[in-house]
């Protein structure tokens, strides 16, 4: 067994079993280094038992607590700065890269926007033409089709719309069969 185990036993003699205590005493008789350590530790224990208490100067506790709080605040500020500065730099770099990419793609974006506006203008013109056509068609048909036929077409359109909605409802909300 090495010196380390005996050195540990020196510091916890009260917890040793009888066989361990006997083994330690035998080792102390044979080993001068451990014996010197044991004598030194007994001196430390004796000083601790005498227990001289020092008087604390007035205001020491308050000064110590203020200094402790200041140090905590400084450490907290350093931690915040150590997190915020890299995050801010990363954010600035990311925004810079995004802006650079946007600027590099600006001609493409503008071309696409102009093309989309042209297509929307074309759709608006087409809807205008279709609206004119339907207006002319309805004006010409209004006088030539009897009112009864208009009611029949309206009823048929309503029935078809209802059937379509009913089929959507049935397809969307299938009933769960209970076993």
Position 2 in a domain: yes
User: Given the structure tokens 């339907």, which residue do they identify?
Assistant: 134
Position 38 in a domain: yes
Position 35 in a domain: yes
- Residue 91 has what pLDDT? 93
The more confidently predicted of residues 124 and 59 is 124
Work out the mean pLDDT of the chain and round it to a whole number. Answer: 86
- Residue 109 has what pLDDT? 84
Position 20 in a domain: yes
- Residue 175 has what pLDDT? 62
Domain extent at residue 32: 1-52
* pLDDT tens figures, 69-128: 999 999 999 999 999 999 999 999 999 999 888 888 888 888 889 999 999 999 999 999
Position 18 in a domain: yes
Position 162 in a domain: no
SS3 16: coil
Position 171 in a domain: no
Residue 64 dihedral angles phi and psi, to the nearest 5°:
-65, -45
Position 179 in a domain: no
H helix or E strand, kind and range, residue 61: helix 60-144
How many structural domains is the chain composed of? 1
What is the distance between the alpha carbons of residues 164 and 171, in angstroms, rounded to a whole number?
11
For residues 75, 79, 80, 85, the Cα torsion angle rounded to the nearest 10 degrees is 130
Angle at 170 between CA 167 and CA 175, to 5 degrees: 165
* 147-169: average pLDDT: 91
The percent of residues in the chain predicted with pLDDT above 90, rounded, is: 35
* 40-64: average pLDDT: 81
- Residue 18 has what pLDDT? 86
């Amino acid at each position: 067994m090495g010196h380390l185990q005996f050195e540990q036993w020196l510091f916890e003699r009260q917890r040793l079993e009888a066989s361990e205590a006997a083994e330690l005493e035998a080792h102390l008789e044979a080993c001068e280094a451990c014996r010197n350590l044991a004598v030194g530790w007994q001196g430390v224990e004796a000083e601790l038992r005498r227990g001289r208490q020092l008087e604390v100067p007035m205001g020491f506790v308050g000064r110590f607590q203020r200094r402790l709080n200041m140090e905590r605040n400084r450490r907290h500020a350093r931690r915040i700065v150590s997190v915020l500065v890299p995050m801010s730099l990363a954010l600035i770099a990311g925004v810079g890269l995004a802006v650079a990419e946007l600027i590099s793609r600006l001609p493409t974006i503008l071309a696409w926007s102009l093309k989309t506006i042209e297509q929307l203008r074309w759709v608006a013109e087409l809807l205008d033409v279709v609206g004119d056509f339907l207006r002319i068609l309805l004006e010409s048909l209004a006088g030539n089709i009897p009112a009864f036929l208009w009611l029949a077409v309206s009823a048929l359109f309503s029935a078809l719309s209802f059937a379509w909605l009913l089929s959507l409802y049935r397809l969307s909300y299938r009933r769960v069969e209970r076993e």
